[in-house]
Amino acid sequence: MAGGTYHYAIVGAGSAGCVLANRLSADPACRVVVLEAGGPDRAREIRVPLGFIKLAQSAYDWKYRTTRQPQLSDRELFWPRGKTLGGSSSINGQAWTRGHRLDYDGWAASCPGWSFDEVLPYFRRAERRVGSNAGGVYGTSGPQFICELRDPNPTTAAFLAACAEVGLRRLGELNEADNTGFSPTPVTQRRGLRHSAADAYLRPARQRRNLTVLTQAHVQRVLLDGARATGVEYRDAAGATQRVTVSREVILSGGSINSPQLLMLSGVGDPEQLRVADVQPRHELVGVGANLQDHLACGIVVHCPKPVTLFAAESPAQLARFLLMRRGLLTSSLNEAVAFVRTDPAQAAPDIELVWLPAPLLGYKPLGGVIPPPAHGLTLGVELLQPDSHGHIRLASGNAAEPPVIDPGYLTAESDLHGLLVGIRFAERLLETAALRAYVGAPMAPWPGKVDDAKLATFIREQAQTAFHPVGTCRMGSDDAAVVDCELRVHGLHGLRVVDASVMPRIIRGHTHAPTVMIAERAADLIRPSTPN
């Protein structure tokens, strides 16, 4: 049914929302509704691991863009976010990386209960590691399938050998407590197909009669009765306004863009900013939309003299291999191996991530999709793991159909440009190793090759892109600027939580899907003990 009363309403069927839908509806006496603005996850490009490169700016993407970034040559950056069941876990590169122990111990300094040792059981509860599990790092009986790539590119083995050649540590498993070192990338795949949060959590639960999943249900605002959330108002596929009410909680799981936007549309945020957007303030929380953090990345792109890269992934032979055996280039996640690097040995944790992509990644076309490569090539991406630059999300207007203003504030802290410079210099060393000599050819435009620091800084400003990891816009904490408390309840309101990547106080040293699943697994336990009989 479209309307009605439930115990819980979950807004967003992404990495966090799918977890919550499964865990909360496991109690047959508990009625749960999930509202997803996108449609079903039926596109074949979602199932084919490499197909995600075609989903950017499609119907499965929110198609967000940032404001012009003065420190990035005044460019607007494209920010894809999943708009379908599974959310961004249905359109991402499938990497499963937890981050570093110090990430979570840092969270726990202001939010007790979130240290690495305390969140580790929730990672393990989610994980079903198939294949190698050196040291018992992963869980093996959870819903989320995690494995090695079935058919890694031959250049990926050469990259791993290059990492060893320059003295980096080979990790037994990437997700050890200290992830300093290099490894193939564990991926969320099952038998050569993507295994999204919808596959892992939502699909098995949809047979339950107490779980309702509404697609093309774009939530417009949270309904508040004084200081209590009582439900949500949404627009259905026909454009009609509908309502659902809740007896216990509304849970926002829309991600780091949509969750703060929805709070602000509901009158929760900085009153001054809300009035500018013609929204009547209902509850003052100045931190809503602030503290936006993202990993900025810049890639070295070179020609590959051997025809072994993903350039030929869509050939008839590769398509047949995928269809018949679930193998071949189409099973690639694109980001096939990573190295987490301390560019200063005195550092306690990595500051740079190097990402190996056996294809030339040249950016995005203005009207959708990636720029097609001209020839076989390789990319070594450099990501700044702990940026000092922060930005914000704000309303463009009080119209829920209008995208919010996204200003990541890239490179507003000078230290971030220096960090990327140092990281690219390290990446250049890797590409000069004997291990990679057979595969690394001439620079591929726009990469200029080795240049001085001034020209390299210009290249970064003109070419750096998001690594698709926005977090922090509804951060947890107990200070005046925090949006949710350490149990993810919105400060000053009852029956309203935020459970997604927006609650992270600080961005992690890794990709953000796995930590978001962990947050939702822990949130399910936080919610259930408080549930009245």
pLDDT of residue 528: 87
CATH topology (fold) of 5-38+197-292+473-530: FAD/NAD(P)-binding domain (3.50.50)
DSSP, collapsed to helix, strand or coil, labels residue 133 as coil
Question: CA angle, corner 361, sides to 48 and 425, nearest 5?
Answer: 135
Phi, psi for residue 357 in degrees, rounded to 5? -125, 115
pLDDT of residue 368: 58
Q: Is the peptide bond before 446 cis (omega within 30 degrees of 0)?
A: yes
pLDDT of residue 533: 35
Identify whether the C-beta of residue 389 lies closer than 8 Å to the C-beta of residue 411. yes
The secondary structure of 203-245, three-state, reads: HHHCCCCCEEEECCCEEEEEEEECCEEEEEEEECCCCCEEEEE
User: Residue 63 is which amino acid?
Assistant: K
Tell which residue, 81, 18, 46, has the closest CA to residue 468. Answer: 81
pLDDT of residue 371: 78
User: Residue 450 is which amino acid?
Assistant: K
Q: How many CA atoms lie within 13 A of 14 on its CB side?
A: 35
Q: What is the dihedral of CA 471, 45, 64, 8, to 10 degrees?
A: -60
- Class (C level, CATH) for 150-184+296-384+412-463: alpha beta
pLDDT along the chain (533 residues), means of 10: 83 98 97 98 96 92 97 96 98 98 97 98 98 91 97 98 98 96 98 98 97 98 98 97 97 98 98 97 98 97 97 94 96 97 95 97 70 91 98 97 98 97 98 98 96 98 97 97 98 98 98 98 90 42
DSSP readout, 57-105? TSTTB--EEPPPBGGGTTB--EE--B-BTTGGGGTS--B-----HHHHH
Tell which residue, 83, 90, 122, has the closest CA to residue 199. Answer: 90
Tell which residue, 76, 159, 94, has the closest CA to residue 517. Answer: 94
**DSSP state, 519?**
H
Residue holding tokens 């060893």?
Answer: 164
DSSP, collapsed to helix, strand or coil, labels residue 142 as coil
pLDDT of residue 367: 57
**DSSP state, 112?**
T
pLDDT of residue 369: 64
> Given 7, 100, 195, 469, which residue is catalytic?
469
Identify whether the C-beta of residue 318 lies closer than 8 Å to the C-beta of residue 418. no
- Residue 7 known to be catalytic: no
DSSP, collapsed to helix, strand or coil, labels residue 429 as helix
Tell which residue, 265, 259, 294, has the closest CA to residue 484. Answer: 259
Q: Is the pTM of this model over 0.85?
A: yes
Any known ligand binding at 219? yes
Polymer length in residues for the chain: 533
pLDDT of residue 1: 43
Identify whether the C-beta of residue 223 lies closer than 8 Å to the C-beta of residue 230. yes
> Given 295, 376, 491, 511, which residue is catalytic?
511
Each domain of the chain, given as residue ranges in start order, spans 5-38+197-292+473-530, 150-184+296-384+412-463
Q: How far apart are CA 237 and CA 520, in angstroms?
A: 27
- Residue 390 known to be catalytic: no
